[in-house]
């Protein structure tokens, strides 16, 4: 069971941003807990291909892209999408491995935590599309990304089994 911790009301900027990112990652974990593989594949509403499994796969690729490609400036391919299937993380869940998706997501989150820990300053930069991007910006962006998708996850989970909550 995920033990989600509320971010502190008072903390320095780094601790606050990390706490919010962890909180939102844990929120997505909570939205997926206790569901079968088939339930994790349930789509929101047509024509959308959103599912909880798709959100997990998407978040794995988002973490991978920002930490590995932008901050570390590695050349990495998408885990669940490619040029031929740009929305593969959402569209290709019917036969996808739930175990593989969650393992990839957890690994990318852990890698992101290592990247943050390796940088002393939130002002450290990587590059995206030829532009400098600060570590601070990436943390804020990931918080926003998870917050938005956790809203989707709330609605999908409610559709599946009526569970609601933060």
Which domain, by its residues, includes 86?
13-161
Answer yes or no: is 107 within a domain: yes
Q: What is the largest CA-CA distance in the chain?
A: 46
Answer yes or no: is 2 within a domain: no
pTM higher than 0.75 for the full model? yes
Q: What is the pLDDT of residues 83-137, one digit of tens each?
A: 999 999 999 999 999 999 999 999 999 999 999 999 999 999 999 999 999 999 9
Q: How many domains does the chain have?
A: 1
Answer yes or no: is 142 within a domain: yes
Answer yes or no: is 108 within a domain: yes
129: left (phi over 0), alpha (psi -120 to 50) or beta: left
Answer yes or no: is 21 within a domain: yes
Answer yes or no: is 113 within a domain: yes
Q: What is the pLDDT of residues 53-79, one digit of tens each?
A: 999 999 999 999 999 999 999 999 999
Residue 164 has a pLDDT of 84
């Amino acid at each position: 069971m995920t033990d989600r911790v509320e971010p502190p009301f008072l903390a320095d900027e780094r601790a606050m941003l990390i706490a919010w990112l962890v909180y939102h990652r844990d929120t997505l974990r909570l939205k997926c807990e206790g569901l079968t593989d088939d339930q994790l594949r349930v789509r929101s509403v047509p024509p959308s291909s959103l599912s909880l499994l798709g959100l997990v796969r998407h978040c794995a690729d988002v973490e991978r892209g920002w930490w590995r490609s932008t901050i570390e400036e590695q050349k990495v391919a998408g885990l669940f999408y490619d040029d031929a299937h740009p929305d593969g993380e959402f569209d290709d869940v019917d036969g996808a491995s739930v175990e593989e998706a969650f393992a990839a997501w957890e690994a990318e989150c852990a890698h992101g935590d290592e990247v943050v820990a390796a940088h002393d300053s939130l002002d450290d930069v990587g590059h995206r599309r030829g532009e400098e991007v600060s570590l601070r910006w990436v943390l804020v962006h990931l918080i926003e990304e998870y917050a938005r998708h956790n809203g989707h996850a709330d609605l999908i989970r409610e559709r599946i089994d009526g569970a609601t909550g933060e």
